[in-house]
Amino acid sequence: MGKKLMIIDTDCGIDDAQAIMMALVAPEVEILGITCTFGNAAVDDVCQNILRVLSVCKRNEIPVFRGCAGPLVRATNPISDHFGGDGLGDVIKDKDPQWEKKIQKEHSVNAMIRLVSENQKQVSLVALGPLTNLALAVRLDPGFPEKLRELYIMGGNMEGKGNLTLCAEFNFAMDPESAYIVLEEYLCPTHIASWEFSCRNGLTWEFFEELINQDAPAARFMKTITSQCSAYSKTSLKNKRDVYFGPVFVSYDAYAMAACIDSSLVTESISCPVRVELQGSIGRGMMVLDRTHQLKKRHSVFVLTKCDINKFSQLLMGSLRQPHKN
C-alpha cells in the first residue's frame, strides 16, 4: 500500500506544533499541504509558526496556505493567549521578514478542495483548530466531504465541560457555526478527539520533562517554546486548569494526529450522531452526543474515549527524537 495522504488544518499553537512534528516523522504519511486558520493566534502568526516548525524539521518543501482570519458568521472572538500572544510562547525573537513570500498564494480553502479533488478517497484531513476552513470548503464544493478518505477532528466535548466557556471546548467555541456545519454535512468517516478524551489520557509531567530534554533539534525547539508558557507550568495547571482532570500533561492536538497515524492506538470509541448547540446562552458551541438517536440523523461519528497510552507516548517521544525526513 502507498503512503497515507494527509492535509493538516491548523491554528498552530504549541500542541499543534507537536502534532505536526508527529506527522512529519511518520514513515507512512505524506503531507500534501498545511492549511492555516485563526484560533490560538492570528492567522498571520499561525502561518509563521508553521514555517518555523517546518524549518526546524528541515521540511520546507511542504506547502503552507493562509486561510480564514475569523469565524464564519459572527465577529472575531478575542484570540486566546493560552500559548502566548503568537501561539508559540512569545519566545521567538528572530522573526523571518520574508515569511509572506514563503506562503502559497492560493487560499487554504481552495487548496484543500483542489488537493482532495486530485486525490479522491485518498486524503485524511486532520483538523486541529476552529473548523472555519472546512465549513467554507463544503459551501464552495458540496461534494468535498465525500471525496475525503476520512476526517479527524481535535475539538468538541462529551460532557458539557468547557475549557473556554462554561460548556464549550475552545476550537468549537471559537466558531460554533462552522463546527455545526462540519458535523452536519461531512458524511465521510469522522473521528473526534474531544477535550475530555485528551485530558483523560494525559501523561505525567515526568514524561514531559523526558520528552523535551532529548538531544535533538525538535526537542530543543519544543523546550524553548514551552519554557515561558503558563500552559506548561505545573504550578499554573494545578491552580487554574485541572478542575476536572488533575495535574496531567496533555498535548491536545497530538491525540487526533496520533489516532490518524495509527488507528490501533484508539482502544475504545462511541459511535453515535452528534450536534453542536448554537442557540443556548450557556451551551453555545457545546457538542451533544445523541446516544438515543432522538435527532434522527443518518450519520454517526466516532467519538474517541480511550487510547493506548504506551503507543501514544512512543509516537510523542519519536516525534522529537527521530531525524526528520530530508
Cα distance between the two ends of the chain: 22
**Are 31 and 62 spatial neighbours (Cβ–Cβ below 8 Å)?**
yes
11 flagged as catalytic:
yes
Output DSSP code: residue 229: -
Q: What is the rounded distance in angstroms from the CA atom of residue 312 to the CA atom of residue 283?
A: 31
List, in sequence order, the alpha helices (H) in the chain.
Answer: 14-25, 43-56, 108-118, 132-140, 144-147, 170-174, 176-185, 195-200, 205-212, 217-226, 234-236, 252-261, 309-321
Residue in 34, 124, 60, 51 with CA at minimum distance from that of residue 88: 51
Catalytic residue among 11, 45, 175, 253: 11
Q: Distance between CA 174 and CA 36 in Å, rounded?
A: 15
**All 3 cell numbers of residue 142?**
458540496
Q: Which three cell numbers stand for residue 287?
A: 457538542
Residue type at position 316: L
The continuous run of DSSP H or E covering 8 comes out as strand 4-10
DSSP state for residue 94 in the 8-state scheme = -
Positions marked active-site: 11
